[in-house]
Structure 1
């Protein structure tokens, strides 16, 4: 029996930190840092789309023609891999320019298996076809943006340099227009300077506005085709609402557990301790030797009660977030957890980097609760914890050789584990056939921390 609970919510709400552009910003001209970044973005998008379109055309044409030959399949696969890479680069360019993150719409980061399985994985993903549509449209529109940038720069440079080269024109004049058979032109230096100034002001005022419109059109095209589709956004919005509810439920369940453990454990012992010390105080006041011995006995019992209460408080704090988890990390905390388990536990942890505190805490909670449940119900004589990071995912398996039969009932302990990791985009799978073995498999995103 294999049951999967929880949901991956890979989508992230886009950053809403794009700069607000007003008339004052546009009046600064085409030489501001923003305008230069926009021009660089438009040129890079066009060049990238144009080169990628040519390569993809060659790869798909030759690959399709040679599909029955050995080289055809790798060519098709290389074309689709490069298409996805180009789309990722465009998302990164949009992020660098606008500060808005375009979420990845792919079903999986990269299909695995043999070349044919990978090719089928790429082709069956609707996002691949949206990448292809974006590439074609971007290459077509990119030519317009390219010409726009070139014309703006030509107008600006021409307007500035016009007084220096107008004398090389025929008759040393610049024709303007014909009206009723009459030709109007400018040929004197003062009129040339006025015309140059007007052209420069026109390019200065119009250039940034045109660049802004072109940039918004290009980035809007990328957001609509390279991001999540509307059904996917609706699905992930529903998943986010679900995980938010699960997070609240998990926090409430954790609070009730702490209150219950304090009330049933340490609080009761402290109450009994206070009563014993009160009785000992009364007997000491009498001055009777027999009462003094009884008081000493009560004090000794109170001392033992204090040690037990402290032990229960340490266990309670350890179940919430042990100090070793903060000081030495998840692998050391799991080793300490295994050492306290009544069942012999083997820990195999291979972590190339230390996960974030939230991921460490959630993984430790899952392992702690899983081992506690195994000690109570599994009748096992051996358990194990396997921990690794693969493809940006923290994967942990907690298993035992017990009788099996574990189920993920609503409101049960396993469902609570799923609620604990769901807000971190984690999923929990339980494999527990009758007769065993039982395996609780947890997966959570675990990105490598930045070096800065």
Structure 2
């Protein structure tokens, strides 16, 4: 935690410009990064603006011809790519991540549908405004930075080239008909020193102003708008409520299973052992045989209680899930199901433990519900990683009619994956088949 805070302070967007920074002028690590950012931002914005203008114009003119639509899609892709790179540049410079504002990050389908998806995004138009403004401001800041360096280097080199000026002197000003100039060697050196020191101290301030202006523009236009932020905040509140509800429902289920299952068996076991102890004290042969039967029954009760506790622990987080991963845990889950279950799991690696646990819980509860209500002869689990998301489909050939009503088990599955930005859909027409589809966005290291 401390390391992250320190890194943020070192690369933050609003550091204090103290005496140490001023004395080092434009050669501090931050100043060099700022200059690189400003140059890359300006040159990138100018090149992309020129490209987008040409392709949009050509695409609009040729829209009735086959090549017009692809040209417009190329322009939209270039615009979005530049915005992504600008967000990454701001992250590298300031340490501040600007969230992607797109509802559909990668539009799919026919070219017309993809173009409409781009055009209907408010973020696309904000990207275009940012590109135009960033190009204009970037040109201004580029000129300021270049002028600062030119004046500083020019002042530093004055003693070497002032002799080539007319009359070997540097004109300063005309005042009341009099001309003021510098021509002596000490005066030229003093003039160069004053000019260089002035630019040396002014450079960091100009770089700071330019950087804050450009990054502020990016934060304002390339991130989420105020309505989108409000929607995200409301979604986070809802997700937090769903997470609390899911945790509370899980706690109640564990308490119920313990109370109705293992706890009752252990109470009965204690009573049986107590009766066996009483009979053994009497010492008679008949009581000894009765005590032996009670001990045997208690032994069976212990095995049943242990089995129920194992099943309860397996329903929370089985050991095979931790040791061997989600695909092995699903295969073990299918092997215990009373319905024949086919498992098709093809993952390039292991997702995070939270994602694995949530996916296992969805599959476990879905198979349990199918065994109770579906009257199915077979079921299946399909698991894959595609487009940056873990996607799992659990289905059966039963009678159908499953609904995700409030307070029900299927709604609870949705609450369980909601904190991970997961979505759950249920397709279960009367007569079947039933299909439960879960999708959780995640990263699998070996898949990237």
TM-score by length of 2: 0.94
Counterpart position of 1:296: 292
User: Could you list the runs of 4 or more consecutive aligned residues of structure 1 that deviate by over 3 angstroms after TM superposition?
Assistant: 15-18
- Conservation of the 8 A alpha-carbon contact between 2:390 and 2:440: yes
Distance 1:335 1:253 in 2: 26
Output one character per residue of 1:173-197: Cα deviation in whole Å (capped at 9) or x when no partner: 2111222221212222222222222
Is 1:389–2:410 an aligned residue pair?
no
Cα displacement (A) at 1:289? 2.2
Distance 2:174 2:282 in 1: 126
Counterpart position of 1:201: 197
Cα displacement (A) at 1:156? 2.2
Counterpart position of 1:188: 184
| RMSD (CA atoms) | 1.7
Farther-moved stretch of structure 1 (364-373 vs 193-202): 193-202
Output one character per residue of 1:242-272: Cα deviation in whole Å (capped at 9) or x when no partner: 0011111111111111111111111111122
Cα displacement (A) at 1:306? 1.1
Is 1:23–2:17 an aligned residue pair?
yes
Q: Check 1:16–1:439 CA distance in 2 against 1; reply closer, same or farther (3 A cut).
A: farther
Counterpart position of 1:324: 320
Counterpart position of 2:3: none
Counterpart position of 1:32: 28
Residue aligned with 1:23, SS: coil
Question: 242, 263, 268: which one pairs with 1:267?
Answer: 263
The 5-angstrom pairing of residues 152-301 of structure 1 reads 152-301=148-297
Residue aligned with 2:443, SS: coil
Distance 2:285 2:186 in 1: 122
Question: 353, 368, 372: which one pairs with 1:372?
Answer: 368
Distance 1:391 1:422 in 2: 19
Counterpart position of 1:306: 302
Cα displacement (A) at 1:450? 7.4
- Conservation of the 8 A alpha-carbon contact between 1:389 and 1:446: no
Output one character per residue of 1:356-410: Cα deviation in whole Å (capped at 9) or x when no partner: 1111110111111111111111111111111111111111111111111111111
Is 1:75–2:71 an aligned residue pair?
yes
Output one character per residue of 1:289-317: Cα deviation in whole Å (capped at 9) or x when no partner: 22222222222111111111111111011
Structure with greater contact order relative to length (CA < 8 Å, sep ≥ 6): 1
Is 1:354–2:347 an aligned residue pair?
no
Counterpart position of 1:12: none
Counterpart position of 1:8: none
Output one character per residue of 1:148-195: Cα deviation in whole Å (capped at 9) or x when no partner: 110121122223222232222222221112222212122222222222
- Conservation of the 8 A alpha-carbon contact between 2:69 and 2:111: yes
Distance 1:406 1:72 in 2: 47
Is 1:420–2:433 an aligned residue pair?
no
Counterpart position of 1:120: 116
TM-score by length of 1: 0.93
Farther-moved stretch of structure 1 (165-174 vs 129-138): 165-174
Distance 2:395 2:178 in 1: 95
Cα displacement (A) at 1:31? 0.6
Distance 2:283 2:156 in 1: 110
Q: Check 1:33–1:16 CA distance in 2 against 1; reply closer, same or farther (3 A cut).
A: closer
Output one character per residue of 1:312-341: Cα deviation in whole Å (capped at 9) or x when no partner: 111011000111111111111111111111
Counterpart position of 1:447: 443
Gaps of 5+ in 1: 1-14
- Conservation of the 8 A alpha-carbon contact between 1:29 and 1:205: yes
Residue aligned with 1:279, SS: helix
Distance 1:334 1:104 in 2: 34
Residue aligned with 1:440, SS: strand
Q: Check 1:411–1:445 CA distance in 2 against 1; reply closer, same or farther (3 A cut).
A: same
Distance 2:95 2:159 in 1: 42
Farther-moved stretch of structure 1 (320-329 vs 115-124): 115-124
Gaps of 5+ in 2: 1-6
Counterpart position of 1:436: 432
Cα displacement (A) at 1:281? 2.2
Aligned residues: 438
